[in-house]
Amino acid sequence: MKAAHYNVHENVAVITFNNPPVNGLSYALRAAIAEYITQANADDSIDAIVITGSERAFSGGADVREFGTDLAFKEPILKNVIAAIENNPKPVVAAIDGVALGGGFELALGAHFRVARSGARVGLPEVNLGIIPGAGGTQRLPRAIGVEKALPMILEARLVPAAELADTDLFAEVVDENVVEAAIRFAQGLKSTERAVQKVSERPIQPDNATEILQEQYAWAQARYPHLPAKAQAVKAILDGAKLGFEQGLPNERSIFLELVQSPQSVALRYVFGAERAAARIPGLERDTAVRTVNRVGIYGRGQMANDLARDFNAAGLTVIQVAQADQVADALQGCTLLVEAVQGSIADKQAALRTLGQIANEESIVATTSAAPLTECLDQVPAPSMLVRLQPGPAVFQGQLWELGRTAHTQPEVLATLLGLARRAGTHPISSLPDSAGVGARLLDIYIEAAHDLLTLGMSRHRIDTALTDFGFLVGPFEAAQQLDRARLCTEPLNQEVQPPAHADLGPLMMALLANEGARMLDEQVVGRTIELDMIAVHGYGVGRFLGGPMHYSEQYGLQKSLELLNRFAPVFGAARPVWQPAPLFEQRAAEQGKWA
């Protein structure tokens, strides 16, 4: 099937993109656009060209399926397609519906006119991937809507409804009707009205003091986002265009883009982009698995975790009933399809709470526990193993959006599919461990806090450790986290030996090596099946910056052998009594054999 269709409406050629699901700008689509533009130019009966996508998407930008392949850079590359459109002898009108994002929006900016449906959304979200627009976005958008409106769209990756930009020069028309019909009608009128072709690239960047605004924003972005250089570099690209003009600004933008693509932050952010989608799919669970209808959720328990889950279920549009006492469960939670144990206390306390919930569960019930213990320890507390799951949000101190899911070997597929659907409705990231395993995030958190306390014995201070790790990219230092989680210890005896503590710059890589080491143990123990689960749980629930990619990704990029050397430096210092510091056999094996986890 061809990646675009070509049709003629009287004197207007219409090129319709056909690359589901979001008309990603693959090589096949770029080539089809170029081919059909040439075909329209050769037809003397054609006076104008309309390019358009679908109701869902004009174009979602680069085709992620081509990331890292030769096709991504095969001619015609996007910037050359855009240049051909902008310099085309016949006027080109972009008809925008759904979303126009990244390269898709850059393509529309290269057209001479844009007609959009009022609810269509446009944006340049490239900074979320650690890069900047690389096909003219930083040069054309400020010329179309001015610096004040363009900066938030580029720096904050904001998607803006077309209706909000109707008063700018971006759109020739914003309509509530069929946008393709409106664009054809607009294109047909160009010849009779003799409306001049408008190239965005020929307009000045507004306002008159744009250079001063951009210089201030550049300095601010450098200070505000030390771990996300793409933000400051995006402002610099706009500033270059304002000072030097479009002809020089365009190649400068491309140079910055190509440099950022190779940066460790962009590599990590692009990894997370793909990994979070892969980790949300449970191997063996079919996409079309039936789901159960859940309207009411009963939560037994009080405290932060119970409150966080109640908030998430409310965000998913569900009715939530929350009780604190066992004698309230039968009356208040009877009839709830999803019953959640979220009491505070020991595994015995949680088992007792599960027994209480099990007494009101029926064959259609889903029973969830927030316990990090292996689910095999909870099977006897519920009527049927097929209804039991783990549902554990990330600790609130890390401000994440994680649902860590656990299952038994007997958990029904529709139970898992139901929770995955609820997670998406709640705006959380559902990540699953392997059947009958313990909680992953809880083990990573133990390492983070316990290793930090061990470092105190080397003469390091709590402040120094927390500062080094937050400077590195952890959202919250281990001692601040321990304090908020009521897990702080008052003191630790110093070691009876002279040991040089890790340098400030080494502390982040060392902590990532420790977390990856525990991840290697969990892979070996079949707690998780893939490194992506470990990374996504760390990123979405336990404060590891997206730009680091998670401990498994980071340790591989840093070098497994180098990471292992950091561990080996301190393993003999703490000795066998502190297994957290002892290299896992799988870590040593992967470092020696291939330098990669997979």
At 53-80, the pLDDT tens digits run 999 999 999 887 887 788 888 999 999 9
Q: What's this model's pTM, rounded to 2 decimal places?
A: 0.92
Q: How confident is the model at residue 496 (pLDDT cuts 50, 70, 90)?
A: low
At 327-382, the pLDDT tens digits run 999 999 998 999 999 999 999 999 999 999 999 998 889 999 999 999 999 888 89
- Position 318 pLDDT exceeds 70: yes
Phi, psi at 309, each rounded to 5°:
-65, -40
What pLDDT does 497 receive? Answer: 66
Q: How confident is the model at residue 557 (pLDDT cuts 50, 70, 90)?
A: very high
What pLDDT does 491 receive? Answer: 63
Least confident of 89-103, 162-176, 491-505, 518-532: 491-505
Taking the CA atoms of 327, 328, 331 and 336 in sequence, report the sign of the dihedral they define.
negative
User: In the 3-class helix/strand/coil scheme, how is 271-313 assigned residue by residue?
Assistant: HHHHHHHHHCCCCCCCCCCCCCCCCEEEEECCCHHHHHHHHHH
- Position 596 pLDDT exceeds 70: yes
At 229-269, the pLDDT tens digits run 999 999 999 999 999 999 999 999 999 999 999 999 999 99
How open is the CA angle 187-125-178, to the nearest 5 degrees?
30
Angle, helix 413-426 to helix 304-315, in steps of 10 degrees: 80
- Position 399 pLDDT exceeds 90: yes
What pLDDT does 499 receive? Answer: 82
Specify whether the CB–CB gap between 205 and 238 falls below 8 A.
yes
At 254-307, the pLDDT tens digits run 999 999 999 999 999 999 999 998 988 888 888 889 999 999 999 999 999 999
At 101-125, the pLDDT tens digits run 999 999 999 999 999 999 999 999 9
At 166-185, the pLDDT tens digits run 999 999 999 999 999 999 99
Residue type, position 511, single letter: M
- Enter the tokens of residue 417: 């599919």
Q: How confident is the model at residue 320 (pLDDT cuts 50, 70, 90)?
A: very high
- Position 422 pLDDT exceeds 70: yes
- The better pLDDT of the pair 497, 130 is held by 130
Q: What percent of the chain has pLDDT over 90?
A: 87
Q: How confident is the model at residue 431 (pLDDT cuts 50, 70, 90)?
A: very high
What pLDDT does 72 receive? Answer: 84
Specify whether the CB–CB gap between 561 and 583 falls below 8 A.
no
Q: Average the pLDDT over 515-521 and give the result.
A: 98
Residue type, position 321, single letter: I
Check residue 569 and report its DSSP letter: H
Angstrom distance (rounded) from CA 137 to CA 158: 14
At 4-42, the pLDDT tens digits run 999 999 999 999 999 999 999 999 999 999 999 999 999
Q: Average the pLDDT over 468-480 and give the result.
A: 97
| Cβ-based burial of 306 (10 A; exposed 0-12, middle 13-18, buried ≥19) | buried
What pLDDT does 286 receive? Answer: 87
Domains and CATH numbers, the chain: 4-261 (3.90.226.10), 296-437 (3.40.50.720), 442-526+529-593 (1.10.1040.50)
